[in-house]
Amino acid sequence: MKEPTPSFFKAVFAIAHKDLAAEFRSRELLSAMLVFSMLVILIFNFALELDVKVRQSVTAGVLWTTFAFAGTLGLNRSMAVEKDRGCMDGLLLAPVDRSAIFFGKAISNLAFMLVVEAIVIPLYAMLYNETRIFQWEFLGVLLLGSIGYISVGTLLSAMSVQTRTRDVLLPILLFPVAVPVLLASVKASGGIVAGLPFEEILAPLNLLIVYDVIFLATSFMIFDYVVEE
Amino acid sequence: MIEVKKLIKRFGLKTILKGLDFTVQPGEFVALLGPNGAGKTTFLRILASLSRPSLGSVKVAGYSLPNESAKVRARLGVVSHMPLLYPDLTAEENLQFYARMYGLQNQASRITEVLGMVGLEARRKDLVRTFSRGMQQRLAIGRAIIHDPEVVLFDEPYTGLDQDASEMLDEVLRSVAAKGRTVVMTSHDLARAEDLATRFDVLTRGVIVSSGSREDFKNSNLLDFYKKALEA
Amino acid sequence: MQSKPMALTILDVLSIIGIGVATYFALVYAPTEAVMGNVQRVFYFHVGTAWVGLVGFVVAAVSGIVYLVTKDMRWDRFEVAAVEVSTMFFFITIVLGSIWARPAWNTWWTWDPRLTTAAVTELIYIAYFMLRAGIEEPEKRARFGAVYALLGGLSAPITFMVIRLFRTIHPVVVGTASAEAQGGFDMSGDMLTSMFVSLGAFTILFVSLMWHRIRLGGLEEKVEELKLKVSM
């Protein structure tokens, strides 16, 4: 009998790969997230009267709110796919560490969120002639914020799909815990759009990094407790 | 191959399994029978390392659970009433994914081999969502044996299958999944279980109350044996 | 049926006396604050409830970790007790703060770091109860509760630090010159004494309530156990 040699990174890659391959084919999740994002921006447009003056101060807030909402859609769906057809059991039956499942799912969730951001941001820039969001610093904050949001979101979605109230529960669990990452991202990216010197956005940036490190590490360590029985 | 001693499983205050003893020799095909809620599925999930025993010792393929669960999982295949397949991937991609999760060598040739065994070679590039229930279940068997496990567990594999599909599945179960492996199967379908298994254990009220092989029945049949076990 | 322990009765009496004494200190003993007048007296209970509220959340996060490590249900009861009692105290803190804020800042509510963090923390623990309500199985409920209590405990301090970047008008309790300009005040010796009396009284009350809640949790479990026995 051949002895299987599963490796942690191969398993992480396999999970992320199959999520992306399935999504590339069905595009269910991404199209839902994108349409939803556009609707949110549309509503903000009229609710906030996004004229030139207002825009300067709320661009970061509008974008992050949009991404946070769209993100919960994606997180919920991505974990429900595993749960509904028993695929989670299939993942758990593989002879790899359970945290590989966490990283695999987190990577594909992050990829979905980044794709949505990569489409929404140029659209927003075009609609409102807001070119200041195309800065390396802005995109860096976007990445850091998304990592933090997705890492805690992936953990919580694995919990919420196992409850009776799963569809409504994820945002309720996720938003209060993700307040720091959302607010720090808004503060940092808002500062960049407003053209503040780099020193002024250093404080929220540091907190963003602290949050990412703490929550990535914690999620990695306690994911096992969320999926065991 | 499987050795369970004094297994107790509690969910909160409810005790599902109450000091269950269970042994399976290599190569045996054991059908686990019993009424609904007797704890068959719970027991199978414990054997599959998906659920932790509350008390007692469980050994599968020479390794104890839950401490050596990774080693057990590498030697274990599971087919449940859910297919554990991704509908938006093709048959081939599904197997490819599981082959990667198990870290197999020569994945391409093994996948072709397995698809041939379960009779789905012609559909390898088709999405699983287009498959009938019976085909999905056959592919699920292919998924479960991709890493050539020593022990295979079937949890109600016939759920939702019609007569034809069940017969086809029978064939695959016998020739592919069970061949040269140790098997434990739960089923409601006494007739099918009687055909396939070499030993029959009745699980009720959290323990195995009776165990017999086909030779033990002599003139009577499995149904009589099952009824008698439940009455006792 | 276990009877109420003697120590708990003593604690109950002590907390009643303690709260009485603290009330006296806050309303009579402490001098009237020069600028804000009598409304400032709400401060003593505000600080007292905030203190036990915070302690409770730290206790909850820690007992969450201990539960995950030991899997002992007693820690789950401990954690629930801490969250429940603290959620209530924290709510009182927010209400008292509002009463104080109305004359001091001329508004019931302001999005200051402490207030916002308090509101977010309160929401985290309401979500905690919603999470628990959605799970039937006690062991899983305990596990998920512990994970969420831990996440909440980790995120609250970061929330505070982040919101501080936005703005603050909340007085830094023992005043500096700039704090005074925002509605802070210098504490006289009598004020300090009153504050510590209040802190002590609420700590005793907190311990006593926690104990009651833990006992209640134990009794609840016993009831479930008996119900199960009757139904069998």
pLDDT value for A14: 92
Per residue in C1-27, pLDDT tens?
567 888 888 888 888 998 888 888 888
- Give the neighbours of chain C: at least 3 Cβ pairs within 8 Å: A, B
Span C58-64, mean pLDDT? 93
pLDDT value for C173: 54
pLDDT value for C177: 44
Domains assigned to chain B: 2-231 (3.40.50.300)
Span B65-79, mean pLDDT? 86
Nearest to B104 among A4, A15, A23 (CB): A4
Span B188-208, mean pLDDT? 83
Per residue in C25-53, pLDDT tens?
888 887 777 677 777 788 888 888 988 98
Percent of chain C with pLDDT over 90: 26
Q: In angstroms, rounded to a whole number, what is the distance separating the alpha carbons of residues B144 and B115?
A: 12
Residue A67 has pLDDT above 90, yes or no: yes
Residue A76 in contact with residue A109, Cβ under 8 Å?
A: no
Residues on chain B touching A96 (C-beta within 8 angstroms): 70, 101
Q: Which of A160, A222, A224, A229 should we substitute to test contact with C (largest number of C Cβ atoms within 10 Å)?
A: A222
Question: Between these two residues, C129 and C171, which has the higher pLDDT value?
Answer: C129
Nearest to A18 among B73, B78, B97 (CB): B97
Average pLDDT, chain A: 88
pLDDT tier at C89, thresholds 50, 70, 90: very high
ipTM, 2 dp: 0.89
pLDDT tier at B187, thresholds 50, 70, 90: confident
Q: Is A89 within 8 Å of B50 when comparing Cβ atoms?
A: yes
Residue A176 has pLDDT above 90, yes or no: yes
Q: Is A3 within 8 Å of B74 when comparing Cβ atoms?
A: yes
Q: In angstroms, rounded to a whole number, what is the distance separating the alpha carbons of residues C41 and C29?
A: 10
pLDDT value for C176: 45
Average pLDDT, chain C: 83
Residue C124 has pLDDT above 90, yes or no: yes
Residue A214 has pLDDT above 50, yes or no: yes
Which residues fall within 8 angstroms of residue B2, CB to CB, at 6 or more apart?
A: B22, B23, B24, B47, B59, B60, B61, B151, B182, B184
Q: Is C189 left (phi over 0), alpha (psi -120 to 50) or beta?
A: alpha
Residue C179 has pLDDT above 50, yes or no: no
Question: Between these two residues, B179 and A149, which has the higher pLDDT value?
Answer: A149
Q: Is C158 within 8 Å of A229 when comparing Cβ atoms?
A: no
pLDDT value for A169: 93
Domain range summary for chain A, segments of one domain joined by +: 8-227
Residues on chain A touching B52 (C-beta within 8 angstroms): 228-229
Q: Is B12 within 8 Å of C225 when comparing Cβ atoms?
A: no
In the sheet where B14-24 sits, what is the strand order? Answer: B14-24, B2-11, B55-60, B63-65
Residues on chain A touching C161 (C-beta within 8 angstroms): 180, 207
Nearest to C127 among A173, A187, A226 (CB): A173
Give the minimum alpha-carbon distance from C113 to chain A in angstroms, rounded to a whole number.
Answer: 12
Select from C225, C212, C229, C199 the least CA-distant residue to C51.
Answer: C199
Q: Which range has the worst mean pLDDT, A171-175, B51-55, C171-175?
A: C171-175
- Note whether B86 contacts C: Cβ–Cβ < 8 A: no
Span A86-92, mean pLDDT? 88
pLDDT value for A34: 93
Span A57-76, mean pLDDT? 90
Question: Between these two residues, C200 and B38, which has the higher pLDDT value?
Answer: C200
- Note whether A195 contacts B: Cβ–Cβ < 8 A: no
Of the ranges A51-60, A68-77, B52-61, C44-53, the best mean pLDDT one: A68-77
Residue B215 has pLDDT above 80, yes or no: no
pLDDT value for B218: 64
Span A35-47, mean pLDDT? 89
Span A195-202, mean pLDDT? 83
Provide the Cα torsion B204, B207, B210, B212; round to 10°: 110
Nearest to C68 among A162, A180, A225 (CB): A225
Residue B15 has pLDDT above 90, yes or no: no
Residues on chain B touching A23 (C-beta within 8 angstroms): 88
Question: Between these two residues, C102 and B128, which has the higher pLDDT value?
Answer: B128
Span C89-114, mean pLDDT? 84
- Note whether B73 contacts A: Cβ–Cβ < 8 A: yes
pLDDT value for C181: 47
Average pLDDT, chain B: 85
Q: In angstroms, rounded to a whole number, what is the distance separating the alpha carbons of residues A51 and A53?
A: 6
pLDDT value for C185: 64
Q: In angstroms, rounded to a whole number, what is the distance separating the alpha carbons of residues B41 and B44?
A: 5
pLDDT tier at A20, thresholds 50, 70, 90: very high
Give the minimum alpha-carbon distance from C7 to chain A in angstroms, rounded to a whole number.
Answer: 36
pLDDT value for A150: 95
Residues on chain B touching A229 (C-beta within 8 angstroms): 45, 50-52
Give the minimum alpha-carbon distance from A173 to chain C in angstroms, rounded to a whole number.
Answer: 6
- Note whether B5 contacts A: Cβ–Cβ < 8 A: no
3-state secondary structure of B208: strand
pLDDT value for A5: 55
Residue C180 has pLDDT above 50, yes or no: no
Q: Is A90 within 8 Å of B143 when comparing Cβ atoms?
A: yes
Residue C132 has pLDDT above 90, yes or no: yes
Residue B32 in contact with residue B201, Cβ under 8 Å?
A: yes
- DSSP character at residue C170: S
Percent of chain C with pLDDT over 70: 89
Per residue in B98-109, pLDDT tens?
999 998 888 889
Q: Which tokens sit at C21? A: 């004494």
pLDDT tier at A39, thresholds 50, 70, 90: very high
Q: In angstroms, rounded to a whole number, what is the distance separating the alpha carbons of residues B141 and B118?
A: 8
